[in-house]
Amino acid sequence: MMKIFFLLATLFFASCQGQSKTENTSNDVSKSQEIPTFGTNVFNPSLILDKNIRSIFEDQKGNFWFGTNGAGVYSYDGKTLKQYTEKDGLANNQVQSIQEDKSGNLWFGTGIFGVSRFDGQKFTTFSSKENLVFDKEKSWKIESNDLWFFAGGGAYRYNGNSLEYLPLDKSITDSKSAQNAPTNLSRFGVYSILKDKKGNLWFGTQAEGVCRFDGKTFTWFTEKGLAGPAVLGLFEDKNGNIWMGNNGAGLFRYDGKTLVNFTEEKGLGNKEFRAAGKAALGTMARIYAINEDKKGDLWIGTVDAGLWRYDGKTLTNYNTKEGLTSNAINTIYKDKKGELWFGTDTEGICKFNGKTFYRFEPK
């Protein structure tokens, strides 16, 4: 069990080793550290998009943002590509998630469980060391405009004024304990977050399966192999089914009553990965991303076996033999036009035109 835990922890944080941490003064907006942008965000005609893409997002203005594994985040307005890194005030150069608030500010969930906001001019990086929240009855709540981010023992919640750290482990009671800091990974560390159509929050954890929070009650889903390996993907389909992507045990589906291991049901597991860490094509065991296309077909991204498409009846696998640029898919994003973007581990961004895959290159 210790070997598996170390492997999963290393997966997300190896790229962060050796990178400098941004020191923050407070998690309150008015007191947090504000750093003017400079340097890398200046237009550079020779700038090339990094090949390891962790997150993709289209903002209100139609600009695209590409988070990477160690090169910070890029913005692209259709003409100009810009890059932002720690030198510009970003908390960490690994960008795992991107969101936008109602005012148009961009928010980045970074490596070492950091959170940065970009208002178009400067980055503000929030700290959670001084004001950690441990009183669940007062702090655990869901509001329409709040933002949620990954944290080492639970999740961060931005309530419009400050960033709160909300641990999922019920045994945590001492906010001053170093081992309970949000930057320290535990079995309850959050790697994926979903707010469903009913307003419930879903958290995919490092080793404790999936937790659902409805605003009052926590419900844990751990059976059928869901607990153990990290849950890296969460998605709600057009019918309201919740899909959970596990890095080892595969794809799970919850229809509101029953949890099923979809991967095992289809005979697509990979026992060799759980036993010896061996990857295998033609499997659906290591799920990193899940999304849905215009037709309602489900797309499942794996880190070692390419993409799977599920139309409700038939499963179709795509890998490099079918033209996919990489078999390692980190993220799947659907833009405002309904087009899917596939962020890969080593080959940048790949798109699908309905017949063939092609590499996306900002021009």
| Model confidence pLDDT, tens digit, residues 128-148 | 454 344 444 457 899 989 999
pLDDT in the model for residue 102: 93
| Mean pLDDT, all residues of the chain | 85
pLDDT, position 144: 87
DSSP E strand boundaries for 183-284: 190-195, 201-205, 210-213, 218-221, 231-236, 242-246, 250-254, 259-261
What share of the chain has pLDDT > 70, as a percent? 81
Which single residue is written with the structure tokens 């001084």?
Answer: 130
> Please, are residues 211 and 222 in contact by the beta-carbon 8 Å criterion?
no
Give the pair of three-digit tokens for residue 187.
């079995």
Summarize the confidence of residues 184-201 as an average pLDDT: 96
Q: Label residue 273 by pLDDT band (50, 70, 90).
A: confident
Looking at per-residue pLDDT, the higher value among 16 and 266 belongs to 266
Pick the more confident residue, 125 or 75: 75
Which amino acid is it at 363? Answer: K
Q: Rounded to two decimals, what is the model's pTM?
A: 0.86
The domain segmentation of the chain, as residue ranges, is 222-363
Instruction: Show Cβ contacts of residue 24 under 8 Å, excluding neighbours closer than 6 positions.
Output: 32, 33, 91, 125, 126, 127, 129
Q: Which residues, in sequence order, are CB contacts of 360 under 8 Å at separation 6+?
A: 341, 348, 349, 350, 351
Specify which of 16-20, 160-164, 191-195, 321-325 reaches the highest per-range mean pLDDT: 191-195
Compute CA distances 184 → 32, 54, 88, 187, whole Å: 21, 21, 25, 10
| Fold of domain 222-363 | Methylamine Dehydrogenase; Chain H (2.130.10)
Whether 196 shows a pLDDT value over 60: the answer reads yes
pLDDT score for 276: 62
Give the mean pLDDT of 161-176.
70
The residue with greater pLDDT, 328 or 20, is: 328
The 10s digit of each residue's pLDDT in 317-335 is: 999 999 999 999 999 999 9
